[in-house]
Homo-oligomer: A and B are copies of this chain.
Amino acid sequence: MSQSSPGSPLPPASPDLPVLRVAVLGAGTVGTEVLRLIAQQGEDLAHRIGGRLEVIGVSVRDLTRDRGEHVPADLLTTDPAALVREADLVIEVMGGIEPARTLLLDAMAHGASVVTANKALLAQDGPTLYEAADTHGVDLYFEAAVAGAIPLVRPVRESLAGDRIQRVLGIVNGTTNYILDAMTRTGASFDEALADAQELGYAEADPTADVQGHDAAAKASILASLAFHSRVRLGDVHCEGITEVSAQDIAAAGRMGRTIKLLSIVERVRDETGERISARVYPALIPDSHPLSSVSEAYNAVFIEADAAGSLMFYGQGAGGAPTASAILGDLVSAARQRVRGGVGPRESRYAELEQIPLDDLRNAFYISLTVQDRPGVLAEIAGTLSGYGISISTIHQELIDQSEDGGEKSLAHIGISTHRALESAMTASLDVFSSTATVLSIDSVLRIEGE
C-alpha cells in the first residue's frame, strides 16, 4: 500500500502545488478509512489532483476515544460547524439527517464543495442540497451513497448522459442480500438469519433501515432522480422490506427455479396515459438463470437498461469501510480537480419532470400463497376470483398441510400460485376477496416475480 517502491520511486509532486483544506465529518468505519487512504496515498493524490490535500479537522462526538494512527487526536473536534467554514472540501460520513444537513448547507454557503455518502439525506432533501451547490457554485458529489465502491452514480449521470435509461434493477442493500442468501442456502428463518448476520457484523443492532427496505428505497430515489432527470423523493418510492419473507417462501421459490432477492427497481412505464416513472423496492422472485440470482452474501449488483447502450451490469462490494471510502476518494479527487482547474461537476438535472405512476397502475407477475380449506371447489373458487379480475394463473402448487382424522371440513391445504402479469390493483382486489372468504384461512405471502 506504500506509494513508493524500490524499483520505481514515485517522482515527488511539485512542492508549490495549491493546498486544499479538507474537513471530515464523522470518524466511524468509513471516515477512518477515508483518512487512511488520504494519508497513505498523499503523494499519488497530489499528482492526480494537481493540488495537495490537507486534512484540517475531523469532527467526532467523543474526543477521548482512540481511533488509530490515521486519525490523529490533534485533528479531532466536536465543533463541526466551525470546521466546515474553514474547508475547501467537506467529506460527510456522519450519516443521519441533522446536523448533517445544516452542516453541508453551511459548508456550501462558505464555498466548500461537498462529498457525502448520506443516502438518507439525499433521498429526503437532495433538491435543497443541489440548490445550495448551484447557488454557491460548488460541487456536490455522492457516489458512495449508492452501492458503495461500485461506480453507479457517475455512469448514470455522466456516461449515460446521452442515452435514454429505461430501467435500473438491482440489489443495492448488502445486509438484506446476506440474510436472504443465508435463508436460501440453509433454509433458516428470517429471524435466525438476521441473528447470524448481526453476530457476523453484516447487520446492525437495529436493523430496521435495512430489513424494512428504507436504505434500498433511499438509493432507488437517488437512482430514479438521476436516471429520469426528475425529482424522486424517498416518499415517492414504494417500499416493502424482507421481514415477512418466510422459509416457506424461499423453499417455494426454489421449487419454481427461482430465488428471492430484495430488488430496487426504477423504470419508465408507458401506457395509454403517457410516460411515467416508477420507483419501488420489494422482495421478488427472480429466475435462477438471472445473473442477479447468483449475487451472494453482502455483494451488490445493478442492471441498467438503456435504449442505445442495451443492458449493462455492475457488480461489487456495496458497503464496508474501504469500498465506501474508495468511492468517496474518487469524488474527492474530482471535486479537488475542479477547485484547482476551475469548472464545476454535474448539476441537478430535473428538466423532464416525469410523473410517478401509482403502484396500483403497474402490471406485475405475482407469487401468492394461501392456506385454504381442503374441500372440493376451493381451487375453482380461487381461480375464478383471480380470473374475474383479469389475472391469469401461470402455475399452481397444492399441498395438504393438516389432514384431520375424519378427512372432513378441518383438512387444510397450502396453495402456491404464480400469475402472469396483471394490474397491481387487480391483485389487491383479489386479495380483498380472499381475506373475506371463509374457505381462505390466511394469505401467507404476496410476492412479485421479476426478471423474466
Which A residues lie at the B interface, using CB under 8 A?
Answer: 1, 5-8, 10-11, 13, 33, 37, 41, 44-45, 47-48, 143, 149-151, 154-155, 158-164, 229, 270, 273-276, 291, 306-317, 320, 322-323, 325-334, 337-338, 341-344, 346, 349, 351-355
| A149 contacts B276, C-beta separation under 8 Å | no
| A315 contacts B317, C-beta separation under 8 Å | no
> CA–CA, A311 to B149, complex, Å?
9
**Known contacts A1-B164, A163-B330; is-contact A312 B151 (Cβ 8 Å):** yes
User: 3 closest A-B pairs (Cβ-Cβ)?
Assistant: A343-B343, A7-B274, A162-B329
**Chain B residue at smallest Cβ distance from A150:** B312
Residues of B within 8 A of A333 (CB): 158, 161-162
| B337 contacts A325, C-beta separation under 8 Å | no
> CA–CA, A6 to B276, complex, Å?
10
Residues of B within 8 A of A331 (CB): 162
| A8 contacts B151, C-beta separation under 8 Å | no
**Known contacts A306-B326, A317-B310; is-contact A7 B163 (Cβ 8 Å):** no
Partner of A322, one of B44, B309, B353: B309
Residues of B within 8 A of A316 (CB): 309-313
List 10 A-B residue pairs with CB atoms under 8 Å apart, sorted by A's residue number: A5-B275, A10-B351, A41-B162, A48-B229, A151-B159, A161-B330, A314-B314, A314-B315, A342-B342, A343-B343
Partner of A351, one of B7, B13, B353: B13
**Chain B residue at smallest Cβ distance from A148:** B309
Partner of A159, one of B1, B41, B143: B143
Residues of B within 8 A of A338 (CB): 343
| B45 contacts A162, C-beta separation under 8 Å | yes
Residues of B within 8 A of A325 (CB): 308
Residues of B within 8 A of A5 (CB): 270, 274-275
**Chain B residue at smallest Cβ distance from A162:** B329
> CA–CA, A37 to B161, complex, Å?
12
> CA–CA, A312 to B388, complex, Å?
48
Least CB distance from A147 to B in Å reads: 10
Residues of B within 8 A of A150 (CB): 312
